[in-house]
Structure formats: C-alpha cells, structure tokens
Amino acid sequence: MRIISYNVNGIRAAIKKGFFDWLKTNPADVICLQETKATQGDVDVKQLEALGYYHHWFSAQKKGYSGVAIFSKVKPDKVELGCGIKNSDNEGRVIQADFGDIRLINAYFPSGTSGDERQLFKYSWLNEFETYLTKLKKKIPKLILVGDYNIAHHPIDIHDPKGNKKSSGFLPEEREWMTTFLSTGWVDTFREFNTKPHHYSWWSQRFPSVRLNNKGWRIDYITVTEPLKKQLKAAEILPTIIHSDHCPVYVEIDF
C-alpha cells in the first residue's frame, strides 16, 4: 500500500493550485491530509469520488481552522474520528482508519509558534497523545502514524539549526520528546531509506526564495511501529509537488 501524508494548508486553496489534477496521477492508495481548514461540505467531493476515493473528514469546531482527512482507494474496515482527548478533538487533529490488522493514524500536531500559551498546549498535547498511543499499541501492535508533527528532530532536519535553536519546532524539549517517542518502538520511515541532509517538507512562506533555495524544515513524518519495519518498501519526500508551504511525504508498505 502506498501512503502519502500532506499538510495542504487549506484544501480549498490547494484545489485552486491543481490539487485534484495531482490526484488524477494516482500518487498513492491512501492520502492523509492535515490542516484542511474546511468541512466536507466545503469541497466538491464528487470529484474525489469520481477518482475512486473513499473520503473521511474530521474538522475543528472553529471554522477554517486545523482539520484532518483521509482519502483512500481501499475502503477502510473502520474509521474513528478523534482520539478521545477533548482539547485535541475540538481542534480536529486526529482521524484513524483500520485496514485489516493495521491502524492508520493521521494527526496534525499543534504548533507553538503563536506564543507561550500555544507552546504549553503543544507540550500537553504531545504528552497526552503519547500516552494514548502507548495504550493503543498494546491493543493494536501494527500502527502507522502520519502527519505534520511540527518538530524538526535533528540538526540534519533543518537548514539552520544554530539560528533556530530557540524556535518553536526545534526547541530542546520538543526534540527530546521526539527522541523518547521513537525509542519506545517507533520507526522514522524516511530515515530508514535516506540518511542524507537537505531533505525538507516545509518552507516558510515569508520569503519566496526560501523554498527556491531549499531552506526548509523536515517536520512531516510517517512513523510505524516495530512490527511493520520489515514490511517497509520505500519512503520519500516529494518537494516538487507544490500546492502548499508543505510537500507530501510518502511510504510504501507491504500489507
């Protein structure tokens, strides 16, 4: 199964930039979106259905904010909206789908860039979500967690580690969370296949030259639990796909 994770930074804006035309190229069997900033009713879903996609949406209570969705050419056995954490579910941050004995979790991790209050919310969310995943892993050992994690883990994952050492998304506490998380039986799929620098999935929109010069951050991930590690076939980042300030990240898993 081919899986893509993609923060579209507003699906309606992405559609205007050719998102549906890209879907026509059949880029993956399952496409997980973050930051849709829309409800299902805001989008012409007939175009999705004509391309053979089942679609499931989980939107924030606040209009035009956050939100996640799963488009799949394989019908999920079960879809679960949210994760039971109130503050997270109010913001439409997690949607889950079962395919046989595998659970796919699509998550939009909070950003702390807007100030101290949201940074504290981010830390709280990370800890609560990790607790949730730990319990879930005991019931369902084969998990795939995709999404915008809003964390650049190592210096190799950011173009200017020294200049951003005090920036949200690269703070020591966030990076330590990521290290601890991966040490509990999760695999960073991209790094299983590529250990080279200068591979990023997000570029600031403040200056157009940033993406052109590849001054980015790798903050979008697909991680899997250890039981799926041997089933990994490929993992990539797709920077030439441009409908957003992020680009898609890709994994292929032998189901």
pLDDT tens-digit readout, 44-70: 999 999 999 999 999 999 999 999 999
pLDDT of residue 40: 95
| β-strands 30-34, 2-7 pairing | parallel
Domain boundaries, the chain: 2-253
What is the pTM for the complete model shown? Answer: 0.97
Decide: 4 and 246 in contact? Cβ < 8 Å.
no
The alpha carbon of residue 5 and the mean position of all alpha carbons in its chain are separated, in whole angstroms, by 5
pLDDT in tens, 229-252: 999 999 999 999 999 999 999 999
Mean pLDDT of 67-76: 98
Q: Which of 232, 68, 56, 239 is nearest to 144 (CA)?
A: 232
pLDDT in tens, 169-211: 999 999 999 999 999 999 999 999 999 999 999 999 888 899 9
Quick check: is 98 catalytic? no
C-alpha dist (Å) from residue 12 to 38, 48, 182: 8, 13, 34
**CATH number of this structure's domain 2-253, picked from the four choices 3.40.50.2300, 3.40.50.10490, 3.60.10.10, 3.40.47.10:** 3.60.10.10
Residue 239 has what DSSP assignment?
A: T
Q: Give me the catalytic one of 21, 89, 101, 148.
A: 148
